[in-house]
Amino acid sequence: MMADARRTNRVGCDQYRRDPETPLPGDLGMIASVTSDAAIEVRGLRKVYGDIEAVRGIDFTVRRGEIFGLLGPNGAGKTTTVEVLEGYRDASAGDVSVLGYDPARRERALRERVGIVLQSCGVYRHVSVREVLTHWAGLYPHPRDVQEVIELTGLGEKADARTRQLSGGQLRRLDLALALIGDPELIFLDEPTTGFDPAARRSAWNTIRSLKALGKTVLLTTHYLDEAQELCDRVAIIKGGEIIAEGAPSELGVGGEVRYKVAYRNGNGELTSQETDDPTTVLFELTRGALDRGERLEELSVTRPSLEDVYLELTADE
């Protein structure tokens, strides 16, 4: 959805229509070069509500062209962080750059280059998918082709259906289409597949991957850890307003270590497992011992902890 739309269920307000006679703002909001490799830079971000410090001096960078996941339990501070990046909330302290701009200034030059899918959105019930996308395309200086966006988001068969006739999953696809119609460089996706059935989720994942292929940058927040593992180049895990882990999903480990689990059935048929940071040595010792005893290691497997395993361990209450 257009980045200038407030967190509300109204869509298409006239005050957001582009006025070609109004010059774009100058460079007052620029706080970094837009040619930087970073789409988002956050340094020392803090947000305080009265006596509550929701975000406690976090730092992270989202590179251009990557899918970056921001993960954390409810109340961890991730929604507040995203709202600061989107320009909906002011930071209490720290520096934030989004495409080289300070989002708190809400400059048109930035808003035209950002698309947002909120957790819940709303559209007029009595217009068609094509009509609402055509209307929103008129709000941007260089929109994508309406039919192209319809096809990209899997709404081809519903292009002329009234929005009141769409299922929950189809409405979420329309939310994504509205975020993409302005051809943004950066897209915020907040729980984009909530309410999707498994097939629809897989289809949405393919759409999100296609955004990366188009050179877009995506900031994804989701409670589906398999979704983050499947889509994200890197993730940051927030707990208690602080980032407690950051990196590629396959490389995250508790305490900075990546642990492997080696499992097998021993000579008595019992399932045995052990964790190690050196699976090669463990496998050598196990197989050599089994060969010396003339035994087979049934159901032998070596696995790394999933993102969900690491997340649950890192965010567990102490």
pLDDT in tens, 18-32: 343 343 333 434 433
Same-domain pairing of 233 and 279: no
Same-domain pairing of 198 and 266: no
The DSSP symbol for 111 reads: H
Contact 155, 129 (CB under 8 A): yes
Contact 227, 194 (CB under 8 A): no
Contact 259, 276 (CB under 8 A): yes
Same-domain pairing of 235 and 174: yes
3-class DSSP assignment, residue 260: strand
pLDDT in tens, 189-237: 998 887 788 888 888 899 899 899 889 999 999 989 999 999 999 999 9
Residue 315 is predicted with a pLDDT of 87
- Half-sphere exposure of residue 314, counting CA atoms within 13 Å on the CB side? 27
Among residues 215, 247, 279, the one where a domain terminates is 247
Contact 232, 67 (CB under 8 A): yes
Please tell me the total count of domains within the chain.
2
Among residues 247, 267, 286, the one where a domain terminates is 247
Residue 253 is predicted with a pLDDT of 63
Is 21 inside any structural domain?
yes
Length, in residues, of the chain: 318
Same-domain pairing of 105 and 159: yes
Same-domain pairing of 133 and 155: yes
Residue 58 is predicted with a pLDDT of 96
Q: Which tokens is 226 given? A: 């398999």
- Stretches where the chain sits below pLDDT 50 are 1-35
* DSSP H or E run through 85: helix 78-86
Among residues 195, 214, 247, the one where a domain terminates is 247
Same-domain pairing of 153 and 293: no
**Which residues, 6+ apart, have CB-to-CB distance to 223 below 8 Å?**
191
Amino acid letter, 166:
L
Whole-model pTM over 0.85: no
Contact 89, 273 (CB under 8 A): no
Same-domain pairing of 288 and 308: yes
Is 219 inside any structural domain?
yes
Is 99 inside any structural domain?
yes
Residue 152 is predicted with a pLDDT of 87
Q: Which tokens is 124 given? A: 């007029």
245, 188, 196, 215: which is closest to 68 by C-alpha? Answer: 188
Kindly calculate the radius of gyration of the chain based on its CA atoms and give it in whole angstroms. 23
**Domain containing 265: what range?**
258-315
Q: Which tokens is 294 given? A: 């003339």
Same-domain pairing of 48 and 187: yes
Residue 65 is predicted with a pLDDT of 95
